[in-house]
Structure 1
Amino acid sequence: MKGKAIISELRVKFAEKNWNETFQLVRRCMEKSRDESKPCEPLVRSLERLQEEFNVSSMNATKSRLETIAKQQGMGFHINEATCYLTADLFYVEVLLLPCGAVQEVKVASHGESPAPSESLLQLLRSKHFADFSVKLGGLFAQYNIPGDNEIKLKLLASLQYLGKDLQQLSLFPRLESAFREPKFCDPQVDMINNGRVGHLIAGKEDSPLTVQFYVPPTDGAETLDSHLDPVIQAAQVTVGVSDMTHKLQMASVILQPPQLDPQGHPVFVPASEASNEALPACFLLRLQPAITMVTSLFQKLSQITDVAVPSVDLQWAPLPKLLMRGSPSANSHCETLDNDETLVRVPLPGGETHTYILPRGAWDVPAHRAAVLDSVPFTQPAHVPALLELLRHQCAINTLLSSCVTAQFASPGSVCDMHFEVRPESDTSFSVTFLRPDTDSLAVLLVNVLNPHQITCSLFGATSDPSMDEYISSVITRCMSVPETMRTLYSRLKQITSVPLCAGHRATTEAENDGSAPSSAAVMDNNRGPAAFCQTAAVPEDGFGVSASAVSAAKSELLPEINASTSANPYTFAPGAVFPHCVGTNGQMSVNL
């Protein structure tokens, strides 16, 4: 009762006071905090809440808002007439105000440098987007939050600047000639991002760190319900971080002058014994934006490139598809899991078509196919960066393909799907997709092997003996980087083959030529037998090519070599309900609604 009486008296006392008077009262209370090193938390929250409601329309109000933001970010705050300074050890932000409280100019200065205008910070303050300004300032503070005392901080800042200059120079070197290049119609910037030695380099400024854009999935030919969305560009900020061990970091450029290439086409660096460096308790970092989900084997290769251990203590390991689903903004809050721990994911496609992808938990939840979300990669010299980016691109390519069939809308009870596919891992860089062949009661398997970020090969088992089909499907999946779109194209092509069996191979080859993505029929035709013989060879037997449940579901790794060794025989009889028991009826057809 006594507490309620006090609150009632306070309400009566301050009922006539305006926001400005209340605001000033809270500020005075904060200044009288019992612990000078840490203001009273309830008062801080009250001040922040008041500022959200308070209309910033005067110079004093703007100063108060900037002071609060500086304290939130752990920075100092000073005022000199109409200029506010938000300060840290290695940089400061200078805000020049007008008498009405509007912002005239914003400058950022790193240690030892002259202040430079920051258009991004200026626009945020002029628009009174103080929350976004606070976030931007926090990122800037993290950029310059270099560990150590002042002497070490200055050395690390200098080393980081030399690294940035060397990466800029690496970006100017001619690229390695490769057989796997982006198509001629590819956007030059996309080509630079995916194939450049150091990707697409965005020079660092006072208000933003050096950034490397190194992967963006191609979207040519991909038709999904998310096709209208811009693809996410995988990037990394180049900065420094604390390390438990000392590392020799450059204190000058380590690229040999004048620039030279070795016989393999790689830049020549100054020998380690001649390089100017210093042992410091830190290392360079690639801060990944967004973080990348990496499988165990590729994660371990990072340390093999740099000789620097990637911290793994706080990493949470889980099956790769599970982590990709968890990080998908389009995934529903729950997924459908069957009694046998198989996850069903429904992928809607344009035209009303729907695919359902089945991922057996037992196949993915093994050490070889577990993964973790990685947010930064440590390294110590610019020579590491091209190899690290290539490895990260490799993982991004794998993730892009798997994400296309596991991060759409999840299946829900009662939903109807047009086709079902089972996705299983085959190695750390390959997976298989099993499906029912059109117009038959037998299974076919598409093996997808991501050899490197620039080369993806597909091998089709149990559907056709046409050798050009593998090349055609490989070109399709490389072009669109979408499993659902690839499977739709493959299924449509197989339906054409089964409808005209004697000329299936010739038709597949002809249409592949029209797409410009497969070799000419002469390249795959027996020169002695001619076109007629080629069509006969590519014909599909009437009894089809079935795949048994034990081969597909129990031991796919044993299935593929066996299929490859005998593609003309039909030893794998389809057993209804063995592979897709939840989708297959007694007649062997997909007939059950999920």
Structure 2
Amino acid sequence: ISTNALMEQLRLKYQQRPWTETLKLVYFCMDNPLRKPVSNAPDGLLLSCMEKIERTLNAKSMFSVMNMLELLSRQKGLTIHVSPNGTACYITSMMFYVEIQLEKDGDVMDVKLAHFEEAPVVCDDLVQLLRMKNYDAFGKILEDLSNMYQIPGNSEIKAKGYLALQALEKDLYSMSLLDRTQDLNRVTEILNGKVGHLVPRTEGTPMNIEFYISPYQVLEAELNNGSQVCGTKTVITVEGTDTLHKLSLSPLIIDPQAGEDSNPAFLQLTDELSMDLPALFVLKFNQPVPMSSSSIEEIERLTGM
């Protein structure tokens, strides 16, 4: 069959249908191949091109933005609910939801995030990502949120894992403030701080610590005033395990300056302050970090792993 004949058949088939229905079909056809496994190189290239087309569509209407959010939610294994008037949607899982409010022209008004049994909070960073049509970064945040709750058990156990992560983050933040002065610059904090340069978790972005910077980067920062060199970072999160581990459910630092040599004093990890959970705290690196065998042995000794 010729191309012209095929196009004529398509026109006759869909000429009685409204444009909105046809547009939905277009989005579905572009989305559907992405679910199929990549069997060979040509197919992989085609799927890659189709994904780029889908993600770079200039979303100018509320309908097209909603379709992008629906596609993104399905890719991340989440559920999406759209309000009756179409100006709001809720991307949900068992443990959290993201509420997105839209103008009728598709502009993003507001984004809120609510964790399990917590009140929703406004997420300015997520608003900016969606306004810039940066769906890749927004999707990565949804993925990080989902991964944080990948702990075996019911919703109560998963919520305890999140509570334990919050307690650890508070202790790390308290430690980062030790011996810190207002004029302390980032490079000095990386080299000499108790934990390095710590950036607290915001909305869906996990807490991260920049803990190493090379001598060359230090020199570059000194010679080029105002330059932003990027050192080695790690992300702090929690992950599920097959065995139980005792995790604190509340901060353990009593007084950051009360211990010996101005080191923080910690509470004992008692049964009242902790809980056995099928989870562990994890440091995630963007790339492998070389370590000496003695350092690995010391980590094993301290963690019992």
Structure 2 residue 72 is matched with structure 1 residue 69:
yes
Tell whether the 8 Å contact from 2:27 to 2:67 is kept in structure 1 after alignment.
Answer: no
Q: Which residue of 1 aligns with 2:44?
A: none
CA–CA distance in structure 2, aligned partners of residues 111 and 167 of structure 1: 23
Q: Is there any run of 5+ residues in structure 2 with no aligned partner, and where?
A: 38-46
Aligned equivalent of 2:243: 245
Q: TM-score, normalised by structure 2?
A: 0.77
> Match of 2:111, SS?
strand
**Are the equivalent residues in 1 in contact too, given 2:61–2:104 (CA < 8 A)?**
yes
> Who is 1:59 aligned against?
62
Amino acid at match of 1:306: T
Distance across 2 between alignment mates of 1:294 and 1:300: 10
User: 1:147, 1:241 within 8 Å by CA — same for their partners in 2?
Assistant: no
The C-alpha deviation readout for 1:370-421, integer Å capped at 9, x for no partner, is xxxxxxxxxxxxxxxxxxxxxxxxxxxxxxxxxxxxxxxxxxxxxxxxxxxx
Give the Å deviation of 1:246.
1.4
**Structure 2 CA distance for partners of 1:68 and 1:47, relative to 1, 3 Å:** farther
User: Secondary structure of the equivalent of 2:170?
Assistant: helix
Q: Is the 8 A contact 1:251 1:276 kept in 2?
A: yes
The one-letter amino acid paired with 2:229 is P
1:92 equivalenced with 2:88 (yes/no): no
Q: Note closer, same or farther for the CA distance 1:275–1:30 as it changes in structure 2 (3 Å cut).
A: same
CA RMSD of aligned residues (A): 3.7
Whole-Å Cα distance in 2 between the matches of residues 209 and 191 of structure 1?
A: 23
Greater C-alpha Rg: 1
CA contact 2:171–2:251 (8 Å) conserved in 1: yes
Q: How does 1:535-550 map to 2 (within 5 A)?
A: none
What's the offset of the Cα at 1:285? Answer: 1.0
Name the CA distance, whole Å, in 2 between partners of 1:95 and 1:14. Answer: 35
3-state SS in 1 of match to 2:250: coil
Code of the residue aligned with 2:65 in structure 1: it is T
Q: Deviations over 1:83-133 (max 9, x none)?
A: 111112222111111111221122222222222222222122212233333
User: Are the counterparts in 2 of residues 30 and 40 from structure 1 also a CA contact under 8 Å?
Assistant: no
Cα displacement (A) at 1:24: 2.3
- What does 1:431-446 align with in structure 2 at a 5 Å threshold? none
Q: Flag the 1:187–1:253 CA change in 2: closer, same or farther, 3 A.
A: closer
- Structure 1 residue 148 displacement after superposition: 3.2
Distance 1:52 1:21, change over 3 A: farther
Change (3 A) 1:188 1:247: same
Q: How does 1:65-464 map to 2 (within 5 A)?
A: 65-80=68-83, 81=85, 82-174=87-179, 188-218=185-215, 219=217, 221=219, 230-256=228-254, 258=255, 261-273=258-270, 276-308=273-305
Can you give the 5+ residue segments of structure 1 that lack an aligned partner in the other structure?
Answer: 34-38, 176-185, 309-594
Instruction: Please state how far the C-alpha of 1:28 moved relative to its aligned partner.
Output: 6.9
C-alpha displacement of 1:54 = 4.6
Distance 2:176 2:28 in 1: 54
Number of residues paired by the alignment?
284
The 1:272/1:97 distance shift into structure 2, 3 A limit, reads: closer
Question: Structure 1 residues 92 and 273, CA, compared in 2 at 3 Å: closer, same or farther?
Answer: closer
Please give the alpha-carbon distance, in whole angstroms, between the structure 1 residues aligned to 2:134 and 2:270: 51
Match of 1:12 in 2: 8
Contact 1:23–1:50 at 8 Å: present in 2 too? no
CA distance in 2 between partners of 1:53 and 1:287 (Å) = 30
Counterpart Cα distance in 1 of 2:111 and 2:172: 29
* Alignment match, 2:23: 23
Aligned identity (percent) is 32
- Paired residue type of 2:231: I
Structure 1 equivalent of residue 41 of structure 2: none
Q: How far 1:266 moved relative to its partner?
A: 2.8
Shift in CA distance, 24/304, structure 1 to aligned 2, threshold 3 Å: same
Corresponding letter in the other structure for 1:56: A
Contact 1:27-1:47 within 8 A present in 2 as well: no
**Helix, strand or coil for the counterpart of 2:241?**
strand
Question: What is the alpha-carbon distance in structure 2 between the residues aligned to residue 54 and residue 173 of structure 1?
Answer: 48
More helix per residue: 1 or 2? 2
What's the CA shift for 1:67?
0.5
Question: Which amino acid is the alignment partner of residue 41 of structure 1?
Answer: K
